[in-house]
Structures are given as structure tokens and as C-alpha cells.
Amino acid sequence: MSEHPSVSDRAVSGTAARSATPLGSHRGWKPATDRPGPVALLEEQNRTREPELVPVRHGRMMASPFTFYRGAAKIMAADLKDTPRAGLIVQLCGDAHLSNFGVFASPERNLIFDLNDFDETLPGPFEYDVLRMTASFTIAAQNNNFTEDEIRTVTRIAVESYREAMAGFDQMGTLDIWYAHLSEQDLVTAMDTVRATQKGKAARKTLEKRALKGTAKARTRDSRQALAKLAERVDGRYRIVSQPPVVIPARDFAAALGFSAEETQSAIQQQFEAYRTALPDDRRRLLERFEVVDVAHKVVGVGSVGTRAFIAPLKGRDDQDPLFLQVKSATASVLEDHLPASDYEPGERVVQGQRMMQAASDIFLGWTRGVQENRYLYWRQLRDMKGSAVVEAMVPMGMAFYAHACGWTLARAHARSGDPIAIAAYLSASDKFDRAATDFAERYADQNQTDYEAFLEAVRTGRLVARAGV
């Protein structure tokens, strides 16, 4: 039976946690003396990846210290295990860097801003997500050649926004928190506020132009756009265009992945039936109106490169009524090396974590076991008005605005699964946690740079193989 402590008792627990783990405890971070080598950790992770795609992953991580950070969740997980914890548990994203936030369509077809990657989700200390997000802003701002003051400002805004948002959720009803979300109109209103407080007419117009362009582009990213970009019409039917090694259609699996045509067809049908059966009745009946047209293996992201990921175009009433699904392999979260293992198998872990943290989730989100032993999959739409910010193109004003949105969104996600009253009481109205987390981010950015250089040296000497430009 669930316990229901009073509001005052919940606040007291947060205050007590602050006494045990002071707000400034994240200041002065240093790597552990027995810290595993970053290259060794990547090599360990690579053993669970498709060997032919590991060089592609390395190639994408080579682009900059920021792209390296995006692919280095396992490295940071090993570092976070030694950091102070207040003992306040939430559902973690597990990889809450700033590129894992973005816009997508709610079931009501409204654009909302939210977290959008849950491969590493797991219950754990709220600080883990906050520190990964905060450090990502420092690293991204450095990558964009901001001044030291600009770097510190965007970093502080991210963690300050989290703290202030949690203080707001502390005062809200349980259902109000559950329904809270950041809509497209909310973003526009917040942008108006930012513009009103900032100097520089040209910079304000640039911020507005880029934001509006981004949301407009997101609205075009749907299954019809995916069909036009990824498929071709042959003998009266659509099929996915071959673009090895990034996109390999099922007809080429035998040569590229070692699966025969018969094995491929059987596996596709078996998996699709299992996925469809596992959906709620209304979604299952909707999906029954579609048939699978083709399947392809598709490389995605940075950190996910090397895990098996597939795309499947489906046809509804006719060829101009498409639905693109994405099927991704799920493995254990990198956090499970250091935190209690999930109660769920990997595919269900990702789906349940996403449903817990997102304000609104994809109506086709689901999971299945793979055909092969110890393979786990989760399913979702490939493109459902999904859009993400071009971090490398951000100017200081734009990144500051984005940091505020990300901080609020992460706090709302944590408030859904954790105790916002206890967390808000722990963080208090002081900026001590903001300053400590910013200090951590600056120090961790230095460590990330050192790890990145060690990674480049491993590539240069041949210890790691990289394929750039893919």
C-alpha cells in the first residue's frame, strides 16, 4: 500500500536531506582516483553494438567535444556514481543533455516541447539528470565560442530554471502537475518576454525568426515527408531507398547483415503482430488498417549508433496514406552499472520511463521482445512533427532561452514521478545549488575535453576505428 505523508512531512524530509547533503556539495568536483579510462568504457559498450557500425559511431563522436559528450553517457554515469546525493528519487531520463529535448506533436496534434530520448531511463537521484543537462550547456556554449561570462550565464539559467520550476510545482495539485506541459504558444509567450528584456534589435529578431522557422519545419516532419525523403516508387510500390551503411533495406539484409530474405520476412511479420497485439485495443484497431510495405535498418543519432534500429513504412487506404514506424533495440541503461536494475525488461523500461516523464507520448509507443534471444525492442512513430534545435547555430540569447525551457521541462518531468515538495524544500529559494551545479559543469567540461582528446588519440593510434562523415 502506498504511503501518503502530509505536505509538511514531505517538506521536512527535503529540509533534512539538505542538512545531510548540503546544496554546495557539488562544488569542487574531481574525478575519482580509480576512475575507469574513457576509452576502455567505450570499448566495453561497443561489445554490445553492431561491429560494422561502431566506426560510424566513433566518427560522429569525433566531430567536437559536444558530440563526444552526447555519445559518452556511459562515461558520465561512472562519474556520477561518486557524486553527492540527497536521496530524492525520480524517474531519470538518464541522458538529459540539451539535444535530447525538442518539439513533437501531442495526440491532439498540438506541438509541445519535452524530453525526447529515453534509452537510458531509470529511477535514480534527481541530481543525475540535472548535472548532465547543466554540463551539456557549458560544453555546447564552449563549442559555440561564447565568452566565459556567456557560458556561465546559460549554464546558470538551466539549473536556476529547474529549481524555480520545482518551487512552482511544489504549490500545484497532483493532477495539475500531471497535465502541465510547454506548448508552442507557451514558447512564443516566453520568447516575447525574453525579447522585451534583451538589448539588440537584430539579435531579438534573429531569435524570433529561428524559433518560428524551427516550429514550422517540425510541422512538416511527418510520415508523408519521410515517404518523400526515404522511399522510391518501383513497379507501382514504394520501397525504401538503399543508402548504406546508414540505411539498408530488407532486400539487402542478406548481404549486409547476414539475414536471408525468408528469415527477414518471417521476423518482420512476427514482430509486427506481437507489437500490434500488445497495444491498447483502440490503437491496435487503428494499426490494423495499415499494412507493412518495407523495412530497413537505419543508423540514428550519436549515442545510439551501433544498436539495431529499423524503420518500417506502412500503407493505409492507399500509397499516399503512409505511416512510418521506428523500431529500436533496447539494452540495459548505462545507469544500471551503478544503480538498482530496472524492474522491466529493456524495451518496456524505455516505454514506461517515457510515459512517466513526457507530458504526452506517441500513440503508437510500445515494446516487444526480439526474435533472437535477449533482444528487446521498442516501437514509435519515426516522425510525428518532431523537431530539434540546431545547437551549433545557437547564439547566447537563443541558448539562454533554450536553457530556461529545458530546465522547466526537466523539473516537470521529475515532478511527475518524484516528490516536488521534498525536492523544492531541498533546493530552497537559495541559489547555492545553482552555483554548485555550475561549478560542477565547468569542471566536468574540462574533464570531457580531456576524455575527448584521449578518444581522438585512440583513433589516431588505431586502438579505435572511426569512419567520419557518415
pLDDT value of residue 197: 52
Take residue 408 and report the three cell numbers written for it: 522547466
Mean pLDDT, residues 384-405: 89
pLDDT digits over 259-274, tens only?
Answer: 666 676 677 778 889 9
- The residue type of 371 is V
Q: Tell me the whole-structure pTM to 2 decimals.
A: 0.93
- In the predicted model, is pLDDT for residue 163 greater than 60? yes
Within 261-345, residue ranges assigned H as helices are 261-278, 281-287
Please indicate whether residue 370 or residue 457 has the higher confidence score (pLDDT).
Answer: 457
Q: Comparing C-alpha atoms, which of 101, 207, 131, 224 is closest to residue 447?
A: 131
At how many degrees (to 10) do helices 73-80 and 126-143 cross?
Answer: 130
pLDDT value of residue 192: 63
Q: To the nearest whole percent, how much of the chain has pLDDT over 90?
A: 68
Please indicate whether residue 308 or residue 24 has the higher confidence score (pLDDT).
Answer: 24
Report residue 196's pLDDT band, with 50, 70 and 90 as the boundaries: low
Q: How far apart are CA 178 and CA 109, in angstroms?
A: 19
Whether the CB-CB separation of 6 and 35 falls below 8 Å is answered with: no
> Can you list the pairs that 24-28 forms with residues at least 24 positions away whose Cβ atoms lie under 8 Å?
24/432, 24/433, 24/435, 24/436, 25/84, 25/436, 26/83, 26/84, 26/127, 26/131, 26/433, 26/436, 26/437, 26/439, 26/440, 27/435, 27/436, 27/439, 27/440, 28/439, 28/443
pLDDT value of residue 257: 56
- In the predicted model, is pLDDT for residue 2 greater than 80? no
Whether the CB-CB separation of 347 and 368 falls below 8 Å is answered with: yes
Within 325-463, residue ranges assigned H as helices are 346-357, 396-417, 420-427, 432-460
Residue with cell string 553517457: 73
Whether the CB-CB separation of 275 and 366 falls below 8 Å is answered with: yes
pLDDT value of residue 193: 58
Mean pLDDT, residues 206-226: 68
Sign of dihedral through CA atoms 106, 375, 98, 243? negative
Report residue 297's pLDDT band, with 50, 70 and 90 as the boundaries: confident
Q: How far apart are CA 447 and CA 78, in angstroms?
A: 13
From edge to edge, which strands make up the β-sheet containing 182-183? 101-105, 111-115, 182-183
- In the predicted model, is pLDDT for residue 424 greater than 90? yes
- In the predicted model, is pLDDT for residue 202 greater than 70? no
Number of CB atoms found within 10 A of residue 356's CB: 16
Within 174-280, residue ranges assigned H as helices are 174-179, 184-197, 201-220, 223-230, 253-256, 261-278
pLDDT value of residue 11: 97
Q: What is the 3-state secondary structure (H, E, C) of 61-80?
A: HCCCHHHHHHCCHHHHHHHH
Mean pLDDT, residues 398-416: 96
- In the predicted model, is pLDDT for residue 199 greater than 60? no
Q: How far apart are CA 198 and CA 429, in angstroms?
A: 25
- Which H helix or E strand runs over 366? strand 366-369
